[in-house]
Every structure is written in C-alpha cells, then in structure tokens.
Amino acid sequence: MLKKAEAFAVKAHQGQKRKSSNEDYIVHPIRVAETLKQAGSSEELVCAGYLHDVVEDTPYELEDIEKEFGSRVRSLVAAHTEDKTKAWYERKAHTIETVRISSIDVKSLIIADKLDNLRSIEEHYNIVGEAVWSYFNAGYDLQKWYYQSVENNMYAGLEEKAPSFFKSYSDAVQRFFSNK
C-alpha cells in the first residue's frame, strides 16, 4: 500500500513546485512520509503522509483517497486538510485546534508536515533572507504565531509517548523563531 500511495501522490502533484523554490512539490510529501516511517508509524499513517496535500492542492477528493486506500487513510487526510475557501488565519486557527484535540496519529501527521515545512522555510531564509516571507500568505509575525501555537498544543491530551520528531519540531521552532 505504501508504494501505491507514493505513486498516487507523485501523479497527483505532477508539475507542482514548492512555494519558495523550484523544487518538485512531491519531495515534501515523500519527506513527511519518511519522517512518519522512521518513527515506526502505521502503514495507514505513512500513506496519509504521502497523501496529506492531495485533496488540498489537486483535483482529487477525499472519496478518491477512500476508494484507493480505505476509510482510515481518508480520515487521517481529512483531519489535516484545510478548507481553502476560508481565510489564512481561520485555517491556521483550525489546524492549531485540531492539533490540540486530536489523536496521536493526527498530531503526528500534522507535526511531520509542519516540521518539513519549517525546515524548508529555514533553508530558503538562509539563502534569500526576509524575502522568503513574500512566498507566503502571511509574514513573519503570523508564521511565528502559527508554528509556536502548533508547538504549544502538540502534547495536549497525549497519554502516550510522542514520536521523537515532536522534539525536532520544538527545536526547529525555537531555533528559527527565537533568533529573529
């Protein structure tokens, strides 16, 4: 099922590029899935890592995900899919609340995604400086609020041990946003 999810994501994101670079978009979902896989996540969660942006950024819908990968993968992708008809702040506030109240699997999917996004932003910041914020719908202050708010809520309600990449996320947030 993992190879099928990767192939589905490659096809869905074909021709797309990352916001702040000329990098093929598919590199991001592959890195998210790899983070989840290295943490020992379930096959369904790793599949959701490959597919987490498909519904948001391509013509495919949740029904397509369910048809190909089952209801569990669909529900994980659905929990992480933003409603693009809403304003940036409203979408991000919803994601923060989702992180606060969700299961370890949904939290893990979101944190793996945000960790990779933040690492990419940091990498591009080191190349272009403040111009990196021009690629996004919100500048430094709102991005800082968002990433720190995700960090502040990621352990809420957890009764089990969080994967080690949660600490990597905290470290990245602290490193990137505390020095600027």
What is the residue extent of each domain of the chain?
A: 2-178
Catalytic annotation on 97?
no
Query: Of 57, 64, 82, 122, which is the active-site residue?
Result: 57
pLDDT at position 160: 85
pLDDT at position 151: 97
pLDDT at position 136: 86
Q: What is the CATH number of domain 2-178?
A: 1.10.3210.10
In the predicted model, residues of the chain with pLDDT beneath 50 are none
pLDDT at position 23: 86
Tell me the chain's radius of gyration from C-alpha atoms.
15
Note whether 124 and 178 are within 8 A (CB).
no
Catalytic annotation on 57?
yes
Query: Of 23, 34, 56, 64, which is the active-site residue?
Result: 56
